[in-house]
Every structure is written in C-alpha cells, then in structure tokens.
Amino acid sequence: VFPDLNTGNTTYKAVQRSADLISIGPMLQGMRKPVNDLSRGALVDDIVYTIALTAIQAKQVESLEN
C-alpha cells in the first residue's frame, strides 16, 4: 500500500522494468464489470496481459451471474 497514486505508480513501474518477471496490473476492483487501466507507456506485452486478465475477470463475473 502506497500513500498516493503517484508513489504507487512510480514504484510499480520501477519494479516492472527492473525485475526479471512478468508484472500484470494495475487491477481495478470493486466494479460491477471488469475494468482495467493501461498507461500511455504500456508495452505490447503489458496490453496483451491486461487483455488476458480482463477476459479472465469477465469469465468469473459471467459464471457468478449464471
């Protein structure tokens, strides 16, 4: 947990770019339908992973509604 959005975003991007791992997010929670965000500097991989995450969330919502 970070004190503000700017600090959280800066830390997230630093870890994402320097670590040898896949980082997916940020994930928005508490919405009725799946919604996620991409920054202007998102790489193609970031976009693909976010789309996959959103699709998984949509499938989970769909299964809960049925």
Instruction: Give the dihedral sign, CA 46/13/42/62.
Output: positive
Is the pTM higher than 0.75? The answer reads: no
- Give the model's pLDDT for residue 48: 95
Closest to 27 measured CA to CA, from 55, 53, 6, 60: 53
- What would the two tokens of residue 66 be? 């049925």
- Give the model's pLDDT for residue 17: 82
- Give the model's pLDDT for residue 22: 81
Task: Give CB contacts under 8 A, 24+ apart, made by 36-43.
Answer: 39/9, 39/13, 41/13
**Which structural domain, as residue segments, surrounds residue 41?**
5-65
pLDDT tens digit at each of 66 positions of the chain: 789 989 988 888 888 789 877 878 778 888 888 999 888 888 899 899 999 999 999 999 888 888
- Give the model's pLDDT for residue 53: 92
Domain count, the chain: 1
